Amino acid sequence: MIICCGEALIDMVPGNDKEGNPVYRPIPGGSPYNTAIAIGRLGAPVAFLGRLSRDFFGELLINRLTQNNVATSFIRRGEQHSTLAFVQLEPGKEPQYAFYTEGSADTSLLPEDLPQSLPSDVRCIQFGSISMLLTPISSTIEGFIKRSITQNPTLVISFDPNVRPMLIQNREAYVSSVESWCRMSRIVKISDADLSYLYPTIDREGAIDRILALGPTLVVVTLGKEGARAKLRRADGTFISCQAPVVEVPVADTIGAGDTFHGAFLAWLEQKGKMSSSALSSLSQGELSEALSFANLAASLVCTRHGAEPPTMEELRAFKARHGLNN
């Protein structure tokens, strides 16, 4: 099982009503939340860990999880309101967000909300995004990761910083924190834009090597229209790397594309029996390329839809067939 932990919020996505008037649609979201939905829709066992409001937005969030095969036994409920994220979309640009997080339920996750131990079938914990910028949730998740690694050193920890500069008050302190979270992780999934923010004076390959030097086994970089690139440290100390393209599609928007990629990549590892520290460091170049291609396929499909709507396995098969990708 994979556990995704962190924020669960409501994306207020812009659109128009039937008369053409501008409106905002409330869509369940949040990076780790979307990643959990992506994993669940692809049929891999997954649970979400976090704190959700008892308000009607909280009900919307938890219902979407249960409808998409995501276990909710690690969720605690609170009386605080749900976090809102208003989205601004512009053609050819990354979505921009305005977050309303003050005193919200998901950011109020405390150590007493956590399970004392994890079931034996948990093989991966995924974390990151804005939850690591807010209190008290950030320290709660960091403590949870450290304790879980101590209890089970074979766990695969997968981290996605999902950088949101508008929430970062001290860039140097944030970079230091990101590097400490990378040291806790086996997998670091990161966008090219995030790499540029963290290491503006280092080229892409240099930045990948810098993260690998912190201790992760694998760094995966999403490159937008260029696809994705990965570099892996194998058990014998050698490195392999590969790059895989996206499928060219008409883009509705890119909301949830990175989260879908991350979820699909983790689902591939889980379903192929590769979700362990030893199996990860023993991946062949062909296997790594296959995992990247699978994740790119899922991310490409979600870009044809409005909002974070990850595909099911059946939808991926149909998508492959339409684009002549069955071989």
Higher pLDDT: 19 or 131? It is 131
Residue pair 157/151 in contact by the 8 Å Cβ criterion: no
> Given this model, what pLDDT does residue 183 score?
98
User: Which distant-in-sequence residues (6+ apart) come within 8 Å of 139 by Cβ?
Assistant: none
Higher pLDDT: 16 or 189? It is 189
The label of the residue with tokens 């099911």 reads 312
Residue 252, pLDDT > 90, answer no
Bridge-based pairing of strands 70-71 and 46-53 is parallel
Write out the DSSP string of 99-150: EE-TT-TGGG--GGGS-SS--TT--EEEEEGGGGGSTTHHHHHHHHHHHHHH
- Residue 204 falls within a domain, yes or no? yes
The label of the residue with tokens 């997954």 reads 46
DSSP E strands: which ranges in the chain? 2-5, 9-16, 22-29, 46-53, 70-71, 75-78, 84-88, 96-100, 124-128, 156-160, 187-191, 218-222, 228-233, 239-244
How many domains does the chain fold into? 1
136-154 pLDDT per residue, tens: 999 999 999 999 999 999 9
Confidence of residue 195 (pLDDT cuts 50, 70, 90): very high
Tokens, residue 267:
């689902």
The three-state DSSP-derived secondary structure of 175-187 is HHHHHHHHHCCCE
- Residue 324 falls within a domain, yes or no? no
> Given this model, what pLDDT does residue 253 score?
83
The three-point CA angle 294-311-218 to 5° equals 35
- Residue 21 falls within a domain, yes or no? yes
Q: Give the least confident one: 146-160, 185-199, 286-300, 311-325.
A: 311-325
| Cα–Cα distance for residue pair 249/175, rounded to 1 Å | 34
Q: State the pTM of this model.
A: 0.95
Share of the chain above pLDDT 90, in %: 83
- Residue 326 falls within a domain, yes or no? no
Q: Give the least confident one: 39-43, 102-106, 211-215, 319-323.
A: 319-323
Tokens, residue 126:
């995924």
> Given this model, what pLDDT does residue 233 score?
97
> Given this model, what pLDDT does residue 286 score?
95
Residue 234, pLDDT > 80, answer yes
> Given this model, what pLDDT does residue 326 score?
66
Mean predicted confidence (pLDDT) in 211-229: 96
| Cα–Cα distance for residue pair 161/46, rounded to 1 Å | 20
What's the domain range around 243?
A: 2-319
3-state secondary structure of 316: helix
Mean predicted confidence (pLDDT) in 226-255: 92
- CA 119, distance to chain mean position in Å, is 22
- Residue 274 falls within a domain, yes or no? yes
> Given this model, what pLDDT does residue 28 score?
94
The one-letter amino acid code at 258 reads G
- Residue 243 falls within a domain, yes or no? yes
Mean predicted confidence (pLDDT) in 180-189: 98
- Residue 250 falls within a domain, yes or no? yes
- Residue 49 falls within a domain, yes or no? yes
The label of the residue with tokens 């409330």 reads 26
The 10 Å Cβ neighbour count of residue 270 is: 21
Mean predicted confidence (pLDDT) in 121-127: 97
Supply the CATH number for residue 287's domain.
3.40.1190.20
Mean predicted confidence (pLDDT) in 228-233: 98
253-298 pLDDT per residue, tens: 888 999 999 999 999 999 999 999 999 999 999 999 999 999 999 9
Average pLDDT, the chain: 94
Residue 94, pLDDT > 80, answer no
Q: What are the residues facing 189 on neighbouring strands? A: 220
Q: Give the least confident one: 42-51, 188-197, 247-256.
A: 247-256
Residue 71, pLDDT > 70, answer yes
Could you give the count of Cα atoms lying within 13 Å of 81 in the half-sphere of its Cβ?
8
Residue 327, pLDDT > 60, answer no
Per this entry, what is the length of the chain? 327
